Amino acid sequence: MHILVINSGSSSLKYQLFAMPAEQPLCSGLIERIGTEDSVIRHKILTGQSPQTIERKESIVDHAAGLQQMLNLLSDSDVGVIRSRDEITAIGHRVVHGGEYFANATLITPTVKETIKSLFSLAPLHNPINYECIEMAEKTFPNAKQIAVFDTAFHQTMPEYAFRYALPDALYRDESIRAYGFHGTSHKYVSQKAISWLNKPDASLISIHLGNGCSITAIQGGKSIDTSMGFGPLSGLVMGSRSGDIDPSVIFHLLANGYSSDEVSNLLNKQSGMQGLTGFSDMRDIGKAVNSGSAAAALACEIYAYRVRKYIGAYAAILNRLDALIFTAGVGENDSSMRQRICSNLDFLNIHLDPQKNSALSGEIRAIHTDDSPVRILVIPTNEELEIANQSFALLHND
């Protein structure tokens, strides 16, 4: 069967079409800067002897227009990979927030849609767009099954003592204020890969997702038991433009000194993290600044790595055993110098990185620990779209 995966962001639309159960990608695409006059479409055809890429700029006013462009490319007479939209059996949607309602991939029904709407306030930048794309996909592909895979679902196995905040009980019971965690689809995908590689179903793992957004998750036997992101995606590690953990007193101080709540939110989400420390949010730019002798960039990298090491220590304590560290996402997969910084001075946890292996660039799963390291260190490329396709196929197959 053909399963189309739609991963919609606030101003972007990412998609992949898979032939399942072979897990064969037929095409993939990314539409960026939706809502502007200089939107960018990058569409890659993966069938045939060599990949073919189409890239163009044009005005895409909203996600509906983006979905139409995607459909046009999928079924184009020259470069299309389907003849009819009815060839698509199911569409798997990434939905950011599922609250406490969803712990698995879910067939979308009117009731499910109403529940997603009820969670708009918990993910105001993402759930409304996810919902909009579901409605548009229902109209565009009326014969396809629509399936939701939630970022928060993987973390629903966290025990209550891990996800509850020390706040008045009514705030949890009535306002649903608790830690939910995010990047769950990525953490699940790479942890399952690690479990298979280790051949150890009960493995104790720490999965480190380092992209523009960053999170770290403690995983025992394939289940999340704690994670760094909480009620929203702001807490935990230092990120591209998000602050990560700060003392809440900083917020009160800013509010008392003339900042509005919107200004504080914008500051912590868009002007902080590596952006605030260096003027850059992209680690490639920061790496160039370090190599050029920037003391601010070098300090920012130490802050970034130090925060990850703190969480590694904390999660090793709650796991009470550590079989492997996993690095994934853009920075985790590609920045060998940051992996080196993070893994330094962790000898007491029996974590020993091999510098030569760390610098190697090839391999689907790269083992970068020394031969005598009790704890494995793995670099595993994440593939959220494939994970969504797999979960969607499993749901339909079991159904």
Write down the pLDDT at residue 251. 97
Q: Do 74 and 95 meet the contact criterion of CB atoms below 8 Å apart?
A: no
Q: What is the DSSP letter of 375?
A: B
Residues 6 or more apart whose Cβ sits within 8 Å of residue 142:
none
Tokens of 64: 């509906």
Would you list which residues are annotated within the binding site for Mg(2+)? 7, 384
Tell me the Ramachandran region of residue 139: left when phi exceeds 0, alpha when psi lies from -120 to 50, beta otherwise.
alpha
Q: What is the DSSP letter of 272?
A: S
* DSSP-based three-state secondary structure for 149: strand
Q: Nearest to residue 208, comparing CAs of 190, 181, 232?
A: 190
Q: Which domains does the chain have, with CATH numbers?
A: 2-150 (3.30.420.40), 199-379 (3.30.420.40)
Q: Tell me which residue has tokens 């036997």.
A: 221
Angle at 229 between CA 244 and CA 276, to 5 degrees: 20
73 burial via Cβ count (<10 Å: 0-12, 13-18, 19+): buried
Would you list which residues are annotated within the binding site? 7, 14, 94, 209-213, 282-284, 330-334, 384
Helix (H) or strand (E) segment spanning residue 31: strand 24-32
CA distance 157 to 66: 35
Write down the pLDDT at residue 126. 83
Would you list which residues are annotated within the binding site for substrate? 94
Beta strands in 85-213 (DSSP E): 88-95, 106-107, 145-150, 204-210
Question: Facing residues of 360 across strands?
Answer: none
| pLDDT by position in tens, the chain (length 399) | 999 999 987 778 899 999 999 999 999 999 988 888 888 999 999 887 788 899 988 889 988 889 888 988 998 888 889 888 899 999 999 999 999 999 999 999 999 999 999 998 888 878 898 999 999 899 989 999 999 999 999 999 999 999 999 999 999 999 999 999 999 999 999 999 999 999 999 999 999 999 989 999 999 999 999 999 999 889 999 999 999 999 999 999 999 999 999 999 999 998 999 999 999 988 999 999 999 999 999 999 999 999 999 999 999 999 999 999 999 998 999 999 999 999 999 999 999 999 999 998 777 899 999 999 999 999 999 999 999 999 999 999 876
Write down the pLDDT at residue 372. 94
CA distance 286 to 269: 19
Write down the pLDDT at residue 399. 63
Q: Do 87 and 2 meet the contact criterion of CB atoms below 8 Å apart?
A: yes
* DSSP-based three-state secondary structure for 353: strand
Q: What distance lies between CA 185 and its chain's CA centroid? A: 7
Neighbours of 121 (CB within 10 A): 10
pTM, 2 dp: 0.92
Write down the pLDDT at residue 36. 84
Write down the pLDDT at residue 10. 73
Residues assigned a catalytic role: 151
